[in-house]
Every structure is written in structure tokens, then in C-alpha cells.
């Protein structure tokens, strides 16, 4: 979705199979296929800026500025705004709008796909996000270093509610767990589809994302591998998920690799990889050796034994919180089972 823009519809132009593309007063066409919906309510723009908590010393990253109504409001409160815009027509409109104004020196416009570029330093991000890049943009921001203070992002309502979901709620999912591992997420504002022109098919919401500082000390690739497996059937018990052949095949392959690396001295012991498992009596049963893996039933019992030790076998992913997943990952890693 393009940035918050307040423009009047100056007409409708027909394209292709009669599909209408609404135009703003300057004649710029806005394409639904590119997520270009115009936010026509100035009160929402003001609310977004207010809730962003921008300081006069802040550098603000804006994604999808469109013709610049939100940009103008951001420039009133920030030291500098760096605006990423993929549409060259919008870039020209931004340049025309701010050229020769006192705010021109505060604005840096970058033309291109934000997902394909390295991000600069920034304190706060504000984005009326194109819905098709919601997930990759969120994790690109959360992987950025140095850590920023907050991101205020407009998303499709359902996506936003997945980000803030709690265990045992219907929208609680892998996206929820991964995001909340890296950041605190709060819902700020509902935005109805009638606030846009042309209106999208869905409702929208604005959320605030604050990266955890310091970050949780966990290998994110390992974490995501575990969470992906757990949420493949989130309403099944973990015992049922981890005894499936496809899951056992993957874990056994990784376990063989772990034993080979341990034997070669490339890693040092069952808790290799950091703090996972330190200070915990993780596993009472003896670890399996390479020769034991000839019997699939032994490895299956080994995996299920790890779940039993932590009393996870009868639990469901949809009811586990962050600490539960961290403990589960620590138990598997300490037993030599990895997820990358």
C-alpha cells in the first residue's frame, strides 16, 4: 500500500479489460495491483505521526511515501526523512513537491525496491506498507543493525492481528512467535477501508514494533526451523508431530551431521552452539551413537524421550509461549538435535 496520501479523485481511466484505475488531481494513476490505495483521512495521518513518538533529532525511514502527504508531516517533526519509493512517477511528484521548500534539505529520496537494498541508519520507521511485502519487510527491519527504536507500520488487519496474537488465540502462528521473539508488538489504530480511495478489499491496522534490546540470544535459523515444524500442525500434539516419518528423517539427518562434526572436533559437546542447555539437566537418557541410527525405532524413542523429559509430548504449539519454545529448543540442542 502506498503511503498515506490525501488526494481527491479527479477521474477514472479505463485499462485493458475495462479495469478502472483512479487518478489523483495531478493526473497520477494509482494501481490496485501495486497496492496503491490513497489514505484520504488527514486525521489518521496526524495520528500515525503522533503515535510514532518522533524526536526532533530523529532520522525517520519512510517506506512508500507516494506523493508525500505523510512525508510532509514527518518532516515537520524529524531531523531527516529517508523515503524509499519504487514508483518513478511518485519520485518525480515528491521532488516537485518539496523542491525549493525549507524542508528540501531534510528529505532524501531513494528510488528502488526497499527489499533489495541495504538500509541506512535510522531511529524510527514509518510505513504504509504494500501488503504483498508485509512479512519480508518486517523481518528485514528486525534484522537491521544497529537496532532502531520503533517501527510504526500499516498492515492488512489480519496480518497485524497475527503479529499481536497470544497463545491459544486463533491467529497465533509461526509469524507471531518469530516476530515476538525479536520485538514487542502492540496494536495502535484500526483503519477502515472506507478511509482509502479506491478502497481496498480489507480493513487495515497500524502497529508499533519495538526491537528487543538486547536481542534474545538464540540462533534464529535454529529457532525458525523448530517453530516451522511445530506449526506445521499447530493443533496436534508435539508428540504426534515429531513421530512423523518426514520429521524424523529431517532430524536424523541433522543428528548424523552433528555427531560427525563432534567426532571431528569441529564442535565441543552436546550443547554446542552457545548457551542453549547450559545449567539444565536436559536429558537423562544416553545419547545415541552412529551405529544406533541403523534402528529407526531407537531414534524415534530418542526424540520422543526429549519431549517427555520436558513434559512437551502432550502439548500443542498453539498453546506454547516464547519461554516454552526457548526451552524446547534448548532441550533438543543439548541432545545434539538441530534444525538448520
| pLDDT confidence band for 40 (50 / 70 / 90) | confident
Considering only the top CATH level, what class is 33-211?
alpha beta
Neighbours of 11 (CB within 10 A): 12
Respond yes or no on whether the N-terminal peptide bond of residue 146 is cis (omega within 30° of 0). yes
pLDDT digits (tens, 9 = 90+) for 125-138: 999 888 899 999 99
Task: For residue 39, list its beta bridge partners.
Answer: 196
Sequence-distant (≥ 6) Cβ neighbours of residue 73 within 8 angstroms: 45, 46, 49
109-126: per-residue pLDDT in tens?
999 999 999 999 999 999
| Paired strand residues for 97 | none
Buried b (16+ CB within 10 A) or exposed e, 235-249: eebbeebbbeeebbe
Domain with CATH 3.40.50.150 in the chain: 33-211
> H/E element holding 108?
strand 107-111
- What confidence score (pLDDT) does residue 116 get? 96
Residue 28 predicted with pLDDT over 50:
yes
According to DSSP, residue 34 is labeled G
* Residues with Cβ within 8 Å of residue 216, at least 6 apart in sequence: 181, 182, 326
- Quote the mean pLDDT of the chain: 87
pLDDT in the model for residue 27: 60
Locate 149 and state its grid cell.
527504536
Binding residues for S-adenosyl-L-methionine: 37, 39, 64, 85, 113, 128
pLDDT the model gives residue 2: 40
In which element (H, E) is residue 225 found? helix 220-230
Question: Which residues fall in the annotated binding site?
Answer: 37, 39, 64, 85, 113, 128
Neighbours of 9 (CB within 10 A): 14
306, 300 contact by CB (below 8 A): no
pLDDT digits (tens, 9 = 90+) for 147-185: 999 999 999 999 999 999 999 999 999 999 999 999 999
> Any idea which fold 220-265+281-335 has?
Helicase, Ruva Protein; domain 3 (1.10.8)
pLDDT digits (tens, 9 = 90+) for 279-318: 345 455 578 999 999 999 999 999 999 999 999 999 999 9
CA dihedral 119, 122, 128, 130 (to 10 degrees): 10
pTM, entire model: 0.85
Q: Is the pLDDT of residue 213 over 50?
A: yes
pLDDT range class, residue 29, cuts 50, 70, 90: confident
Q: Where in the chain is the domain with CATH 1.10.8.480?
A: 220-265+281-335
Residue 32: CB atoms within 10 A of its CB come to: 15
User: Looking at residue 271, what is its pLDDT?
Assistant: 44
Amino acid at each position: 500500500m502506498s503511503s498515506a496520501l490525501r488526494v481527491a479523485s479527479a477521474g477514472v481511466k479505463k485499462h485493458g479489460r475495462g479495469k478502472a484505475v483512479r487518478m489523483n488531481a495531478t493526473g497520477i494513476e494509482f494501481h490496485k495491483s501495486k497496492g496503491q490505495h490513497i489514505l484520504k483521512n488527514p486525521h489518521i495521518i496526524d495520528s500515525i505521526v503522533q503515535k510514532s513518538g518522533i524526536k526532533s533529532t530523529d532520522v525517520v525511514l519512510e517506506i512508500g511515501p507516494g506523493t508525500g502527504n505523510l512525508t510532509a508531516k514527518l518532516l515537520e517533526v524529524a531531523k531527516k526523512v529517508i523515503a524509499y519509493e519504487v514508483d518513478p512517477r511518485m519520485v518525480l511528484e515528491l521532488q516537485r513537491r518539496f523542491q525549493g521548500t525549507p524542508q528540501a534539505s531534510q528529505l532524501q529520496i531513494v528510488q528502488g525496491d526497499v527489499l533489495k537494498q541495504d538500509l541506512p541508519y535510522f531511529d524510527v520507521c514509518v510505513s504504509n506498507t504494500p501488503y504483498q511485502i508485509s512479512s519480508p519487510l518486517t523481518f528485514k527491519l528486525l534484522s537491521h543493525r544497529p537496532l532502531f527504536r520503533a517501527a510504526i507500520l500499516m498492515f492488512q488487519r489480519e496480518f497485524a492481528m497475527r503479529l499481536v496474537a497470544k497463545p491459544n488465540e486463533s491467529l497465533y502462528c509461526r509469524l507471531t512467535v518469530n516476530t515476538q521473539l525479536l520485538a514487542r508488538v502492540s496494536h495502535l489504530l484500526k483503519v477502515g477501508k472506507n478511509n482509502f480511495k479506491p478502497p481496498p478489499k480489507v480493513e487495515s491496522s497500524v502497529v508499533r514494533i519495538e526491537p528487543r534490546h538486547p536481542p534474545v540470544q538464540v540462533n534464529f535459523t535454529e529457532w525458525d526451523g523448530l517453530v516451522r515444524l511445530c506449526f506445521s500442525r499447530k493443533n496436534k500434539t508435539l508428540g504426534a508431530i515429531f513421530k512423523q516419518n518426514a520429521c524424523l528423517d529431517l532430524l536424523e539427518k541433522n543428528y548424523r551431521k552433528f555427531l560427525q562434526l563432534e567426532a571431528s572436533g569441529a564442535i565441543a559437546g552436546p550443547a554446542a552452539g552457545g548457551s542453549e542447555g547450559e545449567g539444565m539437566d536436559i536429558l537423562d537418557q544416553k545419547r545415541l551413537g552412529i551405529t544406533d541410527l541403523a534402528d529407526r525405532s531407537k531414534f524415534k524413542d530418542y526424540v520422543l524421550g526429549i519431549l517427555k523429559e520436558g513434559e512437551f509430548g502432550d502439548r500443542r504449539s498453539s498453546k506454547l509461549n516464547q519461554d516454552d519454545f526457548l526451552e524446547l529448543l534448548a532441550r533438543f540442542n543439548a541432545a545434539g538435535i538441530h534444525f538448520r
